[in-house]
Amino acid sequence: MTLRTGRHFLQIPGPTNVPDSVLRAMAAPVIDHRGPEFQKLTNRLLPALATVFRTRGPVVVFPASGTGAWEAALVNTLSPGDRVLCFETGHFATLWRTMAEALGLDVDFVPGDWRRGADPEVLAARLAADPAHRIKAVCVVHNETSTGVTSRVPEIRAALDAADHPALLLVDTISSLASIDYHHDAWGVDVTVAGSQKGLMLPPGLSFNAVSDKALEAAAAARLPRSYWDWRPVIEANRNGFFPYTPATNLLYGLEEALRLLAAEGLPAVFARHSRHAAITRAAVRAWGLEVLCADEREHSSSLTAVLLPEEHDADKVREIVLERFDMSLGSGLGRLAGKVFRIGHLGCFNDLMLAGTLAGVRAGLELAGVPLAPAGEDPTPELLRTA
Ligand code: PLP
């Protein structure tokens, strides 16, 4: 085995690097999840968590990966055969669609080219063609982690409002929460789906549903089978500081520390940092002569950048070289983008010199893989870091 010195560069778009203080917070003795110390933890944690979603409503915490929170969003609000409108923005939107179908929902999947976000104009047209209000929910992936494209959720909300359509709005923020500006209440989102392993800077294992009053009303009438994912017993037990089943105690310790770090930096500063690192990454990629996958200037992701390679080059080969030579993990192309793109994660616990190291490693990996680039002397990263 090769000896690795220094830290591995985990530059996939989640799971992300976990801050040392979060790791230390989790390395505490396990406590009784039905005892007073745990009760105090929950009572501190849930209000702090709600501020990140920017909601005054409940946030349900599941000991599960993000996929579980997807399922929870659907089974708590919908009934068998309900029509839901989903947008083909990429791999994760496609997986959510597949899940909705498996659960017995009738999915209208708006086709997309995996380079753009959910189109508010297409939504407006679909809503106008639905005077009987058969569409019960609109599902949008805020930040499509497979493509580096961020959908314009406020414009999606505006289209629903303009049509005066009662469909619920379900939004996946798994790779945007705590990285890209987001407002559950102000944007009129009914269920926000999130996960621990990206902007929240935790290991995988927790996921979340922020829930509006309208979603809670829908939950009272929804008939899809649900048991483990049922919000109601969790919300009920949370009122008293507990959970209906064994919570992921030590991840919750980590969550409290991660929320403290986010509050100390301030969410506006967190978003500005992400957007600056994303802008520098795009500028570097373009200066190298390569193409960023996202095709709409309004929709660039601040969490990650997907880099499109010239057709004759294999993105997985570049990733392999970067891992072997520089001990850095980059995200692979998913689904129909396999081999065509690689993804640079620049979210979570990240700073300027980590970005400089990441871009230097990517550039060197591209050269070693024989991908034709603009001359090395033109690498703009140091200047961008000084001036951007
Ligand atoms: N949605 C998005 C946007 C994601 O990025 C992911 C995972 O990366 C998921 C859903 C699925 O989450 P998980 O892999 O935690 O189940």
Which pLDDT score is estimated for 384?
80
* 151: nearest Cα among 119, 199, 110, 191: 119
Q: For residue 64, how far is its CA from the centre of ligand 1 (angstroms)?
A: 11
Four-residue CA torsion sign, 325, 330, 334, 340: negative
Which pLDDT score is estimated for 381?
80
Find out whether the beta carbon of 175 lies less than 6 Å from any atom of ligand 1.
yes
Q: What is the pLDDT of residues 5-25, one digit of tens each?
A: 999 999 999 999 999 999 999
Which pLDDT score is estimated for 204?
98
Is pTM beyond 0.85? Reply is yes
Which pLDDT score is estimated for 56?
98
Find out whether the beta carbon of 337 lies less than 6 Å from any atom of ligand 1.
no
Q: For residue 239, how far is its CA from the centre of ligand 1 (angstroms)?
A: 28
Which pLDDT score is estimated for 294?
98
Which pLDDT score is estimated for 2?
65
- State which H helix or E strand residue 218 sits in: helix 213-221
Find out whether the beta carbon of 92 lies less than 6 Å from any atom of ligand 1.
yes
Residues β-bridged to residue 306:
343
Which pLDDT score is estimated for 203?
98
**Mean pLDDT score across all residues of the chain:** 97
Q: Which residues of 116-144 are buried (b: 16+ CB within 10 A; e: fewer)?
A: bbbbbeebbebbeebeeeebbbbbbbbbb
Look at the block and give the residue holding tokens 């591995």.
8
Most distant pair of Cα atoms in the chain: their distance: 64
Q: For residue 63, how far is its CA from the centre of ligand 1 (angstroms)?
A: 14
Find out whether the beta carbon of 94 lies less than 6 Å from any atom of ligand 1.
no
Q: What is the pLDDT of residues 236-245, one digit of tens each?
A: 999 999 999 9
Find out whether the beta carbon of 65 lies less than 6 Å from any atom of ligand 1.
yes
* 53: nearest Cα among 281, 259, 233, 216: 259
Which pLDDT score is estimated for 380?
79
| Residues 6+ away with beta carbon under 8 Å from 342 | 306, 307, 309, 315, 316, 318, 319, 330, 331, 332, 333
* 196: nearest Cα among 209, 205, 188, 187: 205
Which pLDDT score is estimated for 376?
66
| Probe target for ligand 1 pocket from 91, 145, 332, with the most ligand atoms within 8 Å of CB | 145
| Probe target for ligand 1 pocket from 10, 92, 229, 251, with the most ligand atoms within 8 Å of CB | 92
Which pLDDT score is estimated for 378?
65
| Residues 6+ away with beta carbon under 8 Å from 21 | 257, 261
Which pLDDT score is estimated for 1?
52
The minimum-distance atom of ligand 1 relative to the CA of 146 is 5
Residues β-bridged to residue 60:
209
* 204: nearest Cα among 98, 64, 323: 64
Beta strands in the chain (DSSP E): 9-11, 59-62, 83-87, 106-110, 135-141, 143-144, 149-150, 168-172, 191-195, 207-211, 291-292, 304-308, 328-330, 341-345
Both tokens assigned to 380: 């703009």
Q: For residue 14, how far is its CA from the centre of ligand 1 (angstroms)?
A: 9
Q: Which residue ranges form the domains of the chain, and what is each CATH number?
A: 9-16+266-387 (3.90.1150.10), 20-263 (3.40.640.10)
Query: Which residues does the chain have with pLDDT short of 50?
Result: none
* 140: nearest Cα among 188, 197, 178: 188
Find out whether the beta carbon of 14 lies less than 6 Å from any atom of ligand 1.
yes
Which pLDDT score is estimated for 382?
76
- DSSP-derived letter for residue 302 is S
Which pLDDT score is estimated for 276?
97
Find out whether the beta carbon of 172 lies less than 6 Å from any atom of ligand 1.
yes
- Amino acid identity of residue 146, one-letter, is S
Find out whether the beta carbon of 331 lies less than 6 Å from any atom of ligand 1.
no
- DSSP-derived letter for residue 331 is B
Give the separation between CA 375 and CA 367, rounded to whole angstroms.
10
